[in-house]
């Protein structure tokens, strides 16, 4: 079994979305606050260096952290990203 999968994805869409994150105010009655986030949708890059092993499908993320969202909001459509997927050991 492969220990890790390497794939390349291309940015196809970004959108501003409403999402929720934990409040920094520990005394707040509701620990969740509404923030503006970013939805990024990526699709697999076809061809080399992956050839016939190119995956199909899509990768979609909703990102509430503004610094992380900036990576996608500032990028041109078609920007390529390397993606490494590997198993995570269960937390004890």
How does pLDDT run along the chain (92 residues), one tens digit per residue? 568 888 889 999 999 999 888 888 777 788 888 889 999 999 998 877 666 766 778 999 999 998 999 999 999 999 999 988 899 889 88
Helices (H), the chain: 66-73
Report CA-CA distances (Å) from 52 to 15, 23, 32, 86.
Answer: 31, 46, 44, 21
Q: 87 CB contacts (<8 Å, ≥6 apart)? A: 3
Selection from 67, 75, 61 nearest residue 17 by Cα: 61
């Amino acid at each position: 079994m492969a220990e890790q999968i390497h794939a390349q994805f291309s940015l196809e869409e970004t959108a501003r979305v409403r999402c929720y994150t934990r409040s920094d105010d520990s005394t707040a009655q509701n620990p969740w606050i509404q923030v503006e986030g970013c939805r990024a949708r990526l699709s697999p890059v076809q061809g080399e260096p992956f050839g016939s092993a190119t995956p199909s499908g899509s990768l979609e993320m909703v990102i509430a952290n503004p610094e992380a969202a900036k990576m996608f909001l500032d990028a041109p459509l078609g920007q390529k990203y390397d993606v490494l997927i590997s198993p995570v050991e269960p937390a004890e």
